[in-house]
Amino acid sequence: MESNLDQIIKGCIANDRRAQEALYKMFFPKMMAMCHRYTSDDDKAIMILNDGFLKVFSNIQNFEGRGSFEGWVRRLVFNCISDFFRKENKYLKLIFFEESEKEVDQVVLDKLFYDDLIKLITKLPGNTHKVFNLYAIEGFSHQEISETLNISEGTSKWHLSEARRKLKILLNTNNSNINHAG
């Protein structure tokens, strides 16, 4: 028996506007929440989200059925977020840290572009890296992460905290490299 999502995907491949609308409505809340992690400007978030869905609809025939469809959609929308900040030449600030955390030198964040921060994230170990990506980049909740990685919510929260702690260290190390290089 074919699932509702499978029917919607087939409809989108056939360029059926009703299927596209159903897919958009199905994933809008989670994808919009992910966009809002990167910008509080509703107009920018909608613009990024719509670009993401345009990529989804343009490439839906390329979804191979490996992994979750939602994960595939998240990846395309996240790529649009990345492209937006690159095109706008915006700096990515405080995306990885709580607003109240001021331990990271703001000068470092001002000098780092998005790609530089992504490179730092790849230096995080194992599950700490996975949890950070799922939470901060893909917008998963701790409950979703715990189910995906088969860990407790508390362990997910610990990995996120550990990722932030390690990123602060990496950022401050990068800061001294920037200051000594320039």
- Between 38 and 166, the more confident residue is 166
* 40 confidence band (pLDDT: 50, 70, 90): confident
- Please tell me the predicted confidence (pLDDT) of residue 103: 44
d(CA 115, CA 23): 30
d(CA 2, CA 11): 13
User: What percentage of the chain exceeds 70 in pLDDT?
Assistant: 75
* Poorest-pLDDT segment among 92-101, 109-118, 163-172: 92-101
> Could you give the domains of the chain?
4-87 (1.10.1740.10), 106-181 (1.10.10.10)
- Please tell me the predicted confidence (pLDDT) of residue 34: 87
* 68 confidence band (pLDDT: 50, 70, 90): confident
What is the arithmetic mean of pLDDT over 100-108?
Answer: 45
Chain center to CA of 37: 8
pLDDT above 90 for 3: no
pLDDT above 50 for 131: yes
What is the arithmetic mean of pLDDT over 46-73?
Answer: 91
Q: Tell me the average pLDDT of the chain.
A: 79
* Poorest-pLDDT segment among 34-43, 44-53, 97-106, 109-118: 97-106
What is the arithmetic mean of pLDDT over 86-109?
Answer: 47
Concatenated DSSP letters for 56-102? HHHHGGG--SSS-HHHHHHHHHHHHHHHHHHHTT----SSSS-TT--
